[in-house]
Amino acid sequence: QKEVEQDPGPLSVPEGAIVSLNCTYSNSAFQYFMWYRQYSRKGPELLMYTYSSGNKEDGRFTAQVDKSSKYISLFIRDSQPSDSATYLCAMRENNAGNMLTFGGGTRLMVKP
Amino acid sequence: DTAVSQTPKYLVTQMGNDKSIKCEQNLGHDTMYWYKQDSKKFLKIMFSYNNKELIINETVPNRFSPKSPDKAHLNLHINSLELGDSAVYFCASSQELPGSVQFFGPGTRLTVL
């Protein structure tokens, strides 16, 4: 079993839908949680970054962390075709040399 | 004004060869990383390096070695390439401070024939 699990998808939604992307993890020492977006043949780019539990909102994106359940989510409101990409969750322990552990990514397709 | 750049973008080579991938960052960051992304998009850390220490993922074969000529560069050298080394390799960089955001390069697609 991998440390971080993520449904690979693909997840196909119509434009304007609310998208929910999720990751589960097994390492209770993870303290920092990130979501990266990766377009085809490009490098990952950071979308959201949260520390410990709670919610964080940035425009159409909301990140949620539930440490008690070892579960994190990314919500995308009013999804756009330009949101079509692979979304990778990543997490890190407090003292781990900044080394991230990634999920396998969920491929999202938003259809016009 | 690319933040993290890698060369080459594509690399096709034969089994047994030795190759290097170059990475440069102009963000003034202290720490650089190499990741490997397999065909299933699974992104795995290989190395974390700053001027104080090199942290190696224990699963990385010793055929892989990072070389840093200066703070802005971290190259990846691979000896005796194997078919299983075919993947996309990403360089990243960040500040040294815990929790600093990592910025990724565009990737190098390595194909071993």
Q: In the 3-class helix/strand/coil scheme, how is A52-79 assigned residue by residue?
A: CCEEEEECCEEEEEECCCCEEEEEECCC
Check whether B1 has a pLDDT greater than 70. no
Q: What is the mean pLDDT of residues A20-44?
A: 94
At residue B91, the 3 state secondary structure works out as strand
The shortest CB-CB distance from B104 to any of A45, A49, A107 is to A45
Q: pLDDT by residue (tens digit) across A67-94?
A: 999 999 999 999 999 999 999 999 988 7
Instruction: Name which of A4-18, A55-69, B46-60 the model is least confident about.
Output: B46-60
Find the closest chain A residue to B9 by CA distance: A41
A 8-27: CB under 8 A from B: 8
- Contact B41/A8, CB-based, under 8 Å? yes
Residue type (1 letter), B34 = W
A44 close contact with B: CB closer than 8 A: yes
Check whether B39 has a pLDDT greater than 90. no
Q: pLDDT by residue (tens digit) across B63-103?
A: 999 998 888 999 999 999 999 999 999 999 998 877 788 99
B chain contacts of residue A99, beta-carbon cutoff 8 Å: 33, 45, 48, 55, 57
- Residue B69's region, left for phi above 0, alpha for psi from -120 to 50, else beta, is alpha
A chain contacts of residue B5, beta-carbon cutoff 8 Å: none
Q: What is the mean pLDDT of residues A46-55?
A: 89
Check whether A52 has a pLDDT greater than 90. no
Q: What is the mean pLDDT of residues B20-37?
A: 94
Distance of CA A19 to the CA centre of its chain: 11
Distance separating alpha carbons of residues B5 and B3, to the nearest angstrom:
7
* pLDDT of A97: 63
- Contact A98/B96, CB-based, under 8 Å? yes
**Cα dihedral value A46, B100, B103, A10, nearest 10:** -30
At residue A47, the 3 state secondary structure works out as strand
Under the banding of pLDDT at 50, 70 and 90, the label for residue B113 is: very high
